[in-house]
């Protein structure tokens, strides 16, 4: 069966056209485990090994039988799917299950409150919105404290306190105006200064190479300029810091510190003081950058991020949308590097490949209950997605976390193979990176290749290689979205030794052609 028809192409035809130039416009008609089935011109089905794994959404593979059975069960039982503004015990069950896992992996007794959403980008935006609400409320509390300081100082002035002449001098206020007028001028200047601080747009820190989504807000947190800059005028202000560079992080943290002015009375004198202004909404990090080229955060940098967030008073949002759900051998990749966040985002494999669902988890001590009344989506927290997510968590946690162990073991095996290929072709492979089933192989840039085809396709190298591997080896691979010289390997846990060997053969063939500068063969010219 094929779904290609004679109808005009109206669903993103430009993208399809581009895929066809790369030989990637295949029609998949069936999927099971790690295999996708395509239909050839003569109508025969052809199996393709899927190393892309739904861009991270398929840690348990396509159409996992127990998830499919659960989907049937939920639908056959007339489970309420959309019952907004009701009790939602299924969502609570998912939240509790996630909490038990986080408690174990993070070694914390603190609860995490769950806000459900539909996609990865949406969970990120919910996180940023929550952080901004928190920032605004904290700023408000700081201003109230300043007001309380001004009121207390006014009372003190009434009973004989004086403004320190140095303060009048600093604020350019005429000392001859008298104590009351002088004090009121100070209060006015302090308020005006603080208003300017409050009016500044908030700042968000993310890392170079980051990918946090492509919606209006989240795309401004995604480093790739091609995705981000056409929409810059619509979005938040992000500051991108170089990954794993602690010095740059320290410098940026210092640079971002802003003070509000406050008024205190000391020894009968009204003095100026400072209060830290919460100007940074949040700091975002992927424990292993996915679309940036499979780049892990070092343990040292993880500690630095924690420190920076404490200094800035900003929450650390750990984006586990791609790295989480067992992919790296633990439920949270961040639990392995010691990275500790205030918020966590999960999506992709949470829906088991059958549901679209995501969740934002917020540490209880930083949680703002008001957020629940401000943020919602028609589709979030629905009965079907929660039922599937619960089953996904059951499967991950079964047999004392067997899936995590398998992901770690299979990942080691794939990485050994990738490293062996690199050892054989160090001239065309720059690096092999990642852990568990989140691996990347970076090829050398081909901008100066002797082959005109390779030179022309150099900016899209990974897609050229993907087309070749699909056509000649029945292997589905793709580059990471923002680093197209890096091929990603994010297969499901079902990957067998035989499939790893086939992948090895495909990659060796690619490397031999790159070494020979045979772009024509890679591009099938």
Can you give the binding site for ligand PMP, defined by CB under 6 A? 55, 119-121, 124, 211-213, 286, 290-291, 319, 321-322, 347
| Nearest approach, Cβ of residue 508 and ligand PMP (Å) | 29
| Nearest approach, Cβ of residue 210 and ligand PMP (Å) | 8
For every residue of 95-113, DSSP letters joined together read HHHHHHHHHHHH-----EE
Q: Could you give the angle at the alpha carbon of 395 between the alpha carbons of 497 and 333, nearest 5°?
A: 75
Element holding 196 (H helix, E strand):
helix 179-199
| Nearest approach, Cβ of residue 407 and ligand PMP (Å) | 17
Torsion of CA 323, 325, 329, 332, to 10 degrees: 70
For every residue of 365-394, DSSP letters joined together read GG--GGGGGT---TTTT-HHHHHHHHHHHH
| Nearest approach, Cβ of residue 122 and ligand PMP (Å) | 7
| Nearest approach, Cβ of residue 11 and ligand PMP (Å) | 17
Structure tokens at 171: 């604020």
Nearer residue to ligand PMP within complex by CB, 41 or 226? 226
For every residue of 327-375, DSSP letters joined together read TTSSSSTHHHHT---SEEEE-GGGGTTTS--EEEEEEGGG--GGGGGT-
Cα–Cα distance, 330 to 327 (Å, whole number): 7
Nearer residue to ligand PMP within complex by CB, 342 or 499? 342
Nearer residue to ligand PMP within complex by CB, 117 or 393? 117
| Nearest approach, Cβ of residue 291 and ligand PMP (Å) | 5
Cβ neighbours of residue 24 closer than 8 Å, sequence gap 6 or more: 463, 466, 467, 470
Cα–Cα distance, 488 to 506 (Å, whole number): 14
Looking at the DSSP bridge assignments, the partners of residue 478 are 488
Cα–Cα distance, 138 to 362 (Å, whole number): 16
| Nearest approach, Cβ of residue 465 and ligand PMP (Å) | 20
Nearer residue to ligand PMP within complex by CB, 193 or 227? 227
Nearer residue to ligand PMP within complex by CB, 60 or 360? 360
Cα–Cα distance, 107 to 153 (Å, whole number): 46
By DSSP bridging, strand 269-277 and strand 162-163 are parallel
| Nearest approach, Cβ of residue 273 and ligand PMP (Å) | 41
**Residue facing ligand PMP at closest CB distance:** 120
Contact 489, 290 (CB under 8 A): no
Cα–Cα distance, 360 to 130 (Å, whole number): 10
Torsion of CA 79, 85, 91, 96, to 10 degrees: -140
Nearer residue to ligand PMP within complex by CB, 124 or 270? 124
| Nearest approach, Cβ of residue 348 and ligand PMP (Å) | 7
Nearer residue to ligand PMP within complex by CB, 194 or 222? 222
Nearer residue to ligand PMP within complex by CB, 212 or 415? 212
Element holding 39 (H helix, E strand):
strand 35-39
Nearer residue to ligand PMP within complex by CB, 50 or 291? 291
- In total, the chain counts a number of residues equal to 525
């Amino acid at each position: 069966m094929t779904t290609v028809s004679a109808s005009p192409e109206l669903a993103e035809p430009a993208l399809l056209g581009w895929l066809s130039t790369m030989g990637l416009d295949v029609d998949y008609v069936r999927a099971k485990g790690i295999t996708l089935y395509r239909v050839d011109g003569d109508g025969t089905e052809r199996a393709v090994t899927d190393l892309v794994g739904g861009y991270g959404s398929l840690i348990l593979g396509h159409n996992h039988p127990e998830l499919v059975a659960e989907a049937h069960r939920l639908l056959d039982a007339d489970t309420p799917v959309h019952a907004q503004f009701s009790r939602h015990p299924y969502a609570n069950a998912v939240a509790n299950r996630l909490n038990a896992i986080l408690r174990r992996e993070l070694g914390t007794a603190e609860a995490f409150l769950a806000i459900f959403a539909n996609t990865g980008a949406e969970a990120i935006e919910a996180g940023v919105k929550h952080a901004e609400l928190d920032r605004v409320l904290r700023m408000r509390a700081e201003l109230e404290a300043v007001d309380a300081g001004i009121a207390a100082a006014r009372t003190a002035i009434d009973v004989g306190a004086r403004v320190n002449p140095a303060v009048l001098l600093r604020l350019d206020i005429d000392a001859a105006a008298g104590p009351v007028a002088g004090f009121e001028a100070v209060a006015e200047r302090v308020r005006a200064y603080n208003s300017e601080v409050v009016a500044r747009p908030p700042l968000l820190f993310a890392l170079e190479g980051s990918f946090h989504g492509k919606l209006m807000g989240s795309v401004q947190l995604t480093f790739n300029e091609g995705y981000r800059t056409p929409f810059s005028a619509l979005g938040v202000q992000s500051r991108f810091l170089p990954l794993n560079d602690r010095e740059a992080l320290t410098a940026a943290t210092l640079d971002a510190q802003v003070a509000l002015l406050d008024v205190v009375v000391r020894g009968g004198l009204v003095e100026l003081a400072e209060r830290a202004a919460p100007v940074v909404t949040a700091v975002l990090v992927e424990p292993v950058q996915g679309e940036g080229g499979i780049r892990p955060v070092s343990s040292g940098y993880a500690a630095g991020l924690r420190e920076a967030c404490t200094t800035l008073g900003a929450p650390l949002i750990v984006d586990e949308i791609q790295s989480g759900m067992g992919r790296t051998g633990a439920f949270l990749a961040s639990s392995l590097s010691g990275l500790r966040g205030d918020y966590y985002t999960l999506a992709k494999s949470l829906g088991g490949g059958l549901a679209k669902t995501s969740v934002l988890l917020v540490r209880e001590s930083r949680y703002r209950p008001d957020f629940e009344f401000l943020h919602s989506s028609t589709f979030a927290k629905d009965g079907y997605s929660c039922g599937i997510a619960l089953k996904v968590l059951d499967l991950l946690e079964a047999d004392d976390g067997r899936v995590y162990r398998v992901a770690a073991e299979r990942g080691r095996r794939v990485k050994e193979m990738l490293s062996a290929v690199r050892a054989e072709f160090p001239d065309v492979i720059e690096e092999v990176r990642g852990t568990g089933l989140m691996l990347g192989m970076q090829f050398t840039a081909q901008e100066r290749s002797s082959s005109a085809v390779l030179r022309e396709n150099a900016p899209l190298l990974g897609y050229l290689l993907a087309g070749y591997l699909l056509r000649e080896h029945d292997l589905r691979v793709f580059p990471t979205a923002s680093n197209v010289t890096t091929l990603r390997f994010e297969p499901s846990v079902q990957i067998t030794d035989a499939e790893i060997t086939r992948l090895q053969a495909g990659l060796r063939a690619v490397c031999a052609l790159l070494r020979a500068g045979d772009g024509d063969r890679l591009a099938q010219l």
